[in-house]
Amino acid sequence: MNQMLIQREDTIAVDGMLGAATEALLKSQREDGHWVFELEADATIPSEYVLLVHHLAEKPNLELERKIGNYLRRIQSAEHGGWPLYHAGAFDISATVKAYFALKMIGDDINAPHMMRAREAIRARGGAIKANVFTRILLALYGETSWQNVPTVPPELILLPRWFPIHLSKMSYWARTVIVPLLVLAAKQPIARNPRNIHVPELFVEGVPVVSPRAPHQSAGWSFFFNTLDKVLKIVPWPRGLRQRAIDECVRWTTERLNGEDGLGAIYPAMANSVMMYDTLGIGPEDPRRAIARKAVDLLLVVKDDEAYCQPCVSPVWDTGLAAHALMEARTDAADAAVARSLEWLRHRQVLDVAGDWAEERPNVRPGGWAFQYNNAHYPDLDDTAVVVMALDRAAPAQYTNEIARGREWVEGLQSKNGGWGAFDADNAYYYLNNIPFADHGALLDPPTDDVSGRCIGMLMQLGATPDDPHVKQGVDFLRRSQMKDGSWFGRWGVNYIYGTWSALAGLNAAHVMPDDPMMTRAADWLVKVQNPDGGWGEDCNSYKLDYRGYDAAPSTASQTAWALLGLMAAGQVDHPSVARGIQYLEATQGPDGLWAQDHYTGGGFPRVFYLRYHGYPKFFPLWAVARYRNLKAGNSRHVTFGL
């Protein structure tokens, strides 16, 4: 490999790389024109799936359980005996408790070596009572711990007026959809049916108190206030009529957003909670509401020859939009034809008739966005919308005039007051809410982020806005303020500063911020500085730690290398030696099938809590970067003319 990496730039076999990568991506396109790749998280969701089946006392699919068991055992860490949140990550007590419980439910002997290692690791850290809030809720549902060890979330929360400091509209969409059915579960406190009568008392250490009510990200003052409030709520007698009214409203709210076979919020935790909510209220499996909610959960399963797991959600719109961008750079007849088919598929996924939860903050904005999943009409997002609109505009602007205009209108309408864009809502920055006991994950909100803001700026400029356009100017000012001291930008939805820096640079380049602007040169210098000796780039999920002090070296990955290359090219640095070295790294690591292997997680779910392995990322991002490199080197200009 080293010999290959030191070859001269003009001998890079770019055309051969592109041909093989393009062909491989084209082969994975679905018949109707879209792409969707596996979206893998950690052990928690497959484990929760197993436990959901037994909570409901459904007849288990023993072959499916066997395959999930194989998957869980394979991803167990040989180093620390537990389960991490991402490939080669540190021990996570919550993931490990759930995986152990699921494997015991499946039938694994607790004295088997892998179970003993996991159990010892859990007990060494204080036992299962030290797990996070969501894990303690699962344990309470199984009767393993008391609801007194879980923060109080009264269903009356849904009846509060919008001006009240704690209100569902002030939380992120994912928090809303998970919490509302959970309010009913917390009020009714059902016990799982658990026909096998499996319990995990061995995971608890006698005399060890529940985990500290103050999470590391929470302030002392706010934490004291909210924990005092939690103690009061635990003893307050709620009027029976008010409680029933609140539960009825939770059911109405959930049912309205049930989203067919795509599920509540189109994310597993919300879907599973909705099924358990209906079950708790005596709504049987034959009821259409519960039946469709349960079907949605099963549609997340990935079942292979000898393994299976449950995805947190699916990503067809995101995968299709990004694959289209990569193939437009490839510039072949077959690629162009595939893009045309994909855009027709995307066209019909635009949400034009549902004013979702986002409309509470922006009631005068018309719908016009795209969601991440197949269908999620109440929750389209700015990131997908910007990516799709730029693809439509680049490929056939005259053909998609109306779709582009409505997408632009929606993006402009959801810009936050500080100039940035969040993912699903405008001005969702009520940071004090991250201090409530329930928010030990620190991911209750959806504030404006650097990566989504860069994407929206790029979209507006590609559609003909000028740098003086108020939306663009405020967005650029947001990025100028948020740039880190070392020149990078934070990556909320991709790991991490490499992703954020590429996203910001793409938007800033589109906004005519010149390569010699200090904001651009500092970012480019940072990317060059963090390049690995092998020519690639890599960054670990641990970079989201609260005490982050700067970049720590990590193994190179195909997707992060592609992001760094795209970022440098957006910064006007296509001729920099680091870019040629990065392209050489991709050449050296391309597989015989035209693709790149990547076990490391490079997708962001919730920092420090939940990460994603997008199986599509190493399939289209390297192709995109290599094709753009070829196009810029062969053209008359070194300037990237698109918003992404």
Ordered strands of the 603-606 beta sheet = 39-40, 610-614, 603-606
pLDDT of residue 226: 72
Candidate from 8-22, 411-425, 540-554 with smallest mean pLDDT: 8-22
Whether residues 365 and 467 share a domain: the answer is yes
Candidate from 199-213, 458-472, 515-529 with smallest mean pLDDT: 199-213
pLDDT at 620 over 70: yes
Which CATH number is 288's domain given?
Answer: 1.50.10.20
Candidate from 4-18, 206-220, 255-269, 309-323 with smallest mean pLDDT: 4-18
**Maximal CA-CA distance, the chain:** 77
Whether residues 275 and 257 share a domain: the answer is yes
Tokens 């879209």 correspond to what residue? 34
Residue 237 has a CB neighbour count (10 Å cut-off) of 6
Tokens 């991440």 correspond to what residue? 372
Q: Is 383 marked active-site?
A: yes
Percent of the chain with pLDDT over 90: 89
Structural domain includes residue 254: yes
pLDDT of residue 215: 65
Whether residues 458 and 546 share a domain: the answer is yes
What is the Cα–Cα distance from 306 to 643, expressed in whole angstroms?
43
Look up residue 636 and give its DSSP letter.
S
Structural domain includes residue 644: no
pLDDT of residue 347: 98
Whether residues 363 and 222 share a domain: the answer is no
- Whether 606 contacts 555, CB under 8 Å: no
Structural domain includes residue 130: yes
Instruction: Output the pTM of the full model.
Output: 0.96
Structural domain includes residue 260: yes
* 374-433 residue pLDDT tens: 999 999 999 999 999 999 999 999 999 999 999 999 999 999 999 999 999 999 999 988
What is the Cα–Cα distance from 389 to 407, expressed in whole angstroms?
7
Structural domain includes residue 300: yes
Whether residues 389 and 290 share a domain: the answer is no
Residue 586, SS3 per DSSP: helix
pLDDT interval class at 210 (50, 70, 90): confident
Tokens of 305: 């020859």
Decide which of 310, 329, 346 is a domain's last residue. Answer: 310
pLDDT of residue 203: 98
pLDDT of residue 11: 54
| Helix (H) / strand (E) containing 228 | helix 220-235
Decide which of 310, 330, 358 is a domain's last residue. Answer: 310
Structural domain includes residue 85: yes
Whether residues 202 and 324 share a domain: the answer is no
Whether residues 127 and 259 share a domain: the answer is yes
Tokens of 262: 């795509």
Three-class HEC string of 384-426: HHHHHHHHHHHHCCCCCHHHHHHHHHHHHHCCCCCCCECCCCC
Decide which of 271, 288, 310 is a domain's last residue. Answer: 310
Residue 428 forms beta bridges with which residues? 446
- Whether 616 contacts 35, CB under 8 Å: yes
Whether residues 435 and 522 share a domain: the answer is yes
Pairing of strands 301-303, 610-614: unpaired
Whether residues 32 and 21 share a domain: the answer is yes
Query: Which of the following is catalytic: 319, 357, 383, 427?
Result: 383
Whether residues 363 and 263 share a domain: the answer is no
Whether residues 6 and 47 share a domain: the answer is no
Tokens 């957006």 correspond to what residue? 570
Structural domain includes residue 640: no
pLDDT interval class at 225 (50, 70, 90): confident
Structural domain includes residue 643: no
- Whether 397 contacts 405, CB under 8 Å: no
- Whether 550 contacts 486, CB under 8 Å: yes
What is the Cα–Cα distance from 181 to 264, expressed in whole angstroms?
10
Look up residue 307 and give its DSSP letter.
-
Side chain identity, residue 94: S
Whether residues 287 and 352 share a domain: the answer is no
Structural domain range at position 597: 2-37+315-634
Q: How many domains does the chain have?
A: 2
